[in-house]
Every structure is written in structure tokens, then in C-alpha cells.
Amino acid sequence: MSAKKIMVIDDEEGLCRMMATVLMDEGHAVRTFNDPQEALDLFRPNIWDLVISDIKMPGMNGLDLLQKIKACEPDIPVIIITAFATVEMSIQALRNGAYDMLTKPFEPDELLFRVRNALNHNQLMTENQKLREELEGKFNFDNIIGASTALQHLLDKVEKVSVRDTSVLISGESGTGKELIAQAIHYNSPRKEQPFIAINCGAIPESVMESELFGHKKGAFTGADTDKEGLLKAADRGTLFLDEIGNLPLTVQKTLLRFLQEKEIRRIGDTHSTKIDVRLISATNSDLEKEIEHGAFREDLFYRLNVINLHLPPLRQRKPDIPLLAAHFVVEQNEKFKTTISGLSTEAQYAASEYSWPGNIRQLKNVIEACITIETEKQISLTTLAQFIETDETSVDSDEYNKALAHFEIDYLRQLLSSVDGNIEEAAKKASMNMATIYRKLKKYGLRKQDIV
């Protein structure tokens, strides 16, 4: 464990010196205080990793000191030392936020054991907070790549839907990013601190789907050797994302409908129901209304799921987003494989924007990864790209090509600047370009920011 900053507070100078020596031998930075008020005056948030304090001290007892420290920095672990531990005192200390209690006299090994536990706990909390912040940042609306009008309209709707605790049905072709939108809804909702659990209804056999969702009791059927908690219970107070909901068997549809109506579940083989608080987000790449006509999907369930409908347009309808997504995936793959590809060549970028991308964003990401794997130049060339998608390298007339490229760049610049309210610096970041390039292109096409925004 790396060196930590530890504050030790005890009116017994000899005990302070002993603890400091033991902890410094472990490599920690220790500062001792015999006066609790002096320690409190010098305490600042995010400076110390651990506080160890006696409970009986003149001027201010350890419980009062504990409360004041916790008011200043709620997450810092505090170990309380006492010579007269009682159940009532322990309960009071723990209620006030103490991590642990240490009874005098104690051996150095016991002190080190308690300190290691406290520091490990603190490190775990820090890592969890960092992970939570990374997740929230990853699924922030600003980090969903795209400047097209279609996407911006969708994200405006997603932002409003996130804070309203209602069922959402996301529709769109395979590979358009439906789960990404579901995660964005969850991590921008009041449920963001709770679990987000995703299940692909098309990837689980019909025979075990009900057990996966609702759980089962031991002995409920052949092979049920233990009690099983279903995914709905695991997602309690959070969000459950049901991808490809159209593949849900009719028998399970009926049980799911009952859950949405009653807000409670009953495990297979159980005699008791359990109340569950879960937000349901579902997604489909099929036409559920046609499935209803064919008797493959329940109409009453459809209306329960489709309170809010979000439709993700295919990538071919988001042409201005293709260069942005491609640039994003190039950066991502460079970081992953330690490569230095600068992007797509002009010809490759035009070809990518004209391609229909039947596999949508997922296909684009895979193609960029494949191109970077075999590319020997600084940019992904049209020749390399043509090995993975259909392009026409020979039939495009040069003059016709230049006109088409100019038309595309003008449209792209308009969409890009509009999405960032004319902020050139933000536009450059979003497009992975430098600011000078954007200014040069604006001048080239006679575009003015005030006419765009």
C-alpha cells in the first residue's frame, strides 16, 4: 500500500509517539496532536487519509471531534481509541461515523491491522466514486457522438425523459446504439446510484427466460438446486434494460405485464410475492405493431412498455455524424493498440459518408478497427477502406467529386457549429480537428458563424 497521511490525536504523548513510530515504519506520513482543538484547526478536506483519535481528552472528547471532522469530510475513515469500551459508547461512535474502535491497551500489530482495513475501505470507496464519475461522464449527453439534427432532437427528448420515472421503448435498427441511450437515461436519472442491468431477450433460451427475470425457489423444477434471485430483484431501485423485447416468449410477456401492473414479483415455486421498484427500459429492432397483428406480442404489454418512444435513426440518415464517429473510433483504437493513425483521408471520408452502413455504428466501429490493423500510412486510405466496404474508387469524376465534397463539408460545418452554438474551440474538439482548419474552411466556403447559429 502506498504511503498515506495519518492524523493521530491523543493527550498521552507516549502513546502518540508509539503509534507514530509503528505507522511511520509502515511508510506512512504521520502527524501527532495532543490537543484536539489544534488538530481540528489544522484539519482540511482531501488532505488526510485517516484519523485516529482518543475518546477521553481535555477540552473536547473524541466523539465531538469525530462529528466535527465528519461534518468537514464525510468519507474520511476515523478510528476511535478508548480504554473503557462499552456497547453504548461503541454504538454512539459508529452512529457518529466512526469506522472502527480500538481498545487500550493494544499491540502494534492490532493497530496496523485496523489501520490497513480502514485505508483499504477508504481506497475502495474512492475507486467506486471514480468509477461512478467515469460512468456518469461516459453517458453524459455531451459524450454521445454526433452533430446531426436527427440526433440532437433525439438527445433533447432523452434528457427530458431521464428525469421522469416512466417506461421507455427504444426502437431502431441493430447497431444504432440503443443500449447506449438506455444507459444515458439511467445515469442521468434519480436512479443513477442504483444498478443498471441489461439483458438481451434474444440471447436467452425460452425455457429459462422466466427464471432469469423473476428467479426461482430451490426445487421449483428439475435442475433448480438452489434459490435464485432474478434480474428484476437484482435491479431493485435501479433500471432493467430489456434489449430485443420482441423475442420475449408470450408466457413471459404475461408475467412481465403482471409485474408492471402490480409492481411485485413471485419467483417460480414461491408462495409469496415481493414488491420491486424498477424502471423498465426496453428496445427492439422489429416492428412490434406488426408482431401484435401476427399474435406474437401482447398489445396490452406493448402499451405498458411504449409510454415514451425513442426512435434511433440509422447511420445512413445521420451522414454529418459519420466523420465525427469515425474520428472518435480512430482515437479509441489508437489508444487501444498504441497506433498513430491521424484519421481518414479526404477520399476515404467521402466514401464512408456515402456508404449506407447496414450494420450502423457497430459496423463503422468494426471497420475502423480493421482498417487500422492493416493500414501502413498515416491516414486510412480509400484503398484500405475499400477492402471492408463497397466503394467506387474509379468512376467518380474529379470535378463531380470536388463539388460533392464541398457540398458535404458545408453541410457538415453548419451542423457542427450549430450543435455547439458557434463555439469554434468546442467544434474543433468535437470534430477532432484543430481550430485553424475550421477557420480556414469557413473562409473557403464563405460561411459566417452568425449566419449559422
DSSP 141: G
53-84 core/surface letters (b: 16 or more CB in 10 A; e: else): bbbebeebebbebbeebbeeeeebbbbbbbee
Kindly state whether residues 291 and 156 are assigned to the same domain: yes
Whether residues 381 and 425 share a domain: the answer is yes
- According to the model, what pLDDT value does residue 138 have? 53
Domain boundary among 313, 332, 360: 313
Q: Which residues of the chain have pLDDT under 70?
A: 1-2, 85-87, 90, 124-143, 392-405, 451, 453
Which of 64, 62, 48 has its CA nearest to residue 11? 62
Same domain, 356 and 435: yes
Q: What sign results for the dihedral spanned by CA atoms 353, 359, 362, 366?
A: negative
Residues 295 and 325 in one domain: no
**Calpha distance 406→4 (Å, rounded):** 58
DSSP state of 309: E
17 and 124 part of one domain: yes
DSSP 313: P
pLDDT at res. 311:
94
18/123 same-domain check: yes
Give the pLDDT score at 137.
52
Instruction: Provide the domain limits for residue 102.
Output: 5-134
Please indicate, yes or no, whether residues 290 and 146 belong to a single structural domain of this protein: yes
Looking at the structure, do residues 281 and 361 belong to the same domain, yes or no?
no
Q: Which pLDDT score, from 0 to 100, does residue 430 have?
A: 78
Task: List the CATH number of the domain containing 419.
Answer: 1.10.8.60
Burial of 295 (0-12, 13-18, 19+ CB in 10 A): exposed
Last residue of a domain, one of 269, 290, 313: 313
Domain harbouring 42, CATH code: 3.40.50.2300
Give the dihedral of Cα atoms 198, 204, 209, 215; nearest 10 deg. -60
∠ CA 32-33-36, nearest 5°, is 145
Residues 403 and 328 in one domain: yes
Per-residue cell: 277: 421498484
Query: What pLDDT is stored for residue 143 in this prediction?
Result: 63
Same domain? 339 vs 437: yes
Give the number of other CB atoms < 10 A from CB of residue 246.
19
Q: Are residue 89 and residue 173 in the same domain, yes or no?
A: no
Peptide bond into 105 cis (omega under 30): yes
Q: Can you give the CATH number for the domain in which 156 is found?
A: 3.40.50.300
Instruction: Answer yes or no: do 288 and 360 share one domain.
Output: no
How far apart CA 115 and CA 444 sit, in angstroms, is: 65
| Residue that terminates a domain, selected from 258, 278, 313 | 313
pLDDT tens string 214-233: 887 787 777 777 777 888 88
What per-residue confidence (pLDDT) applies to 395? 42
Give the chain's domain count: 3
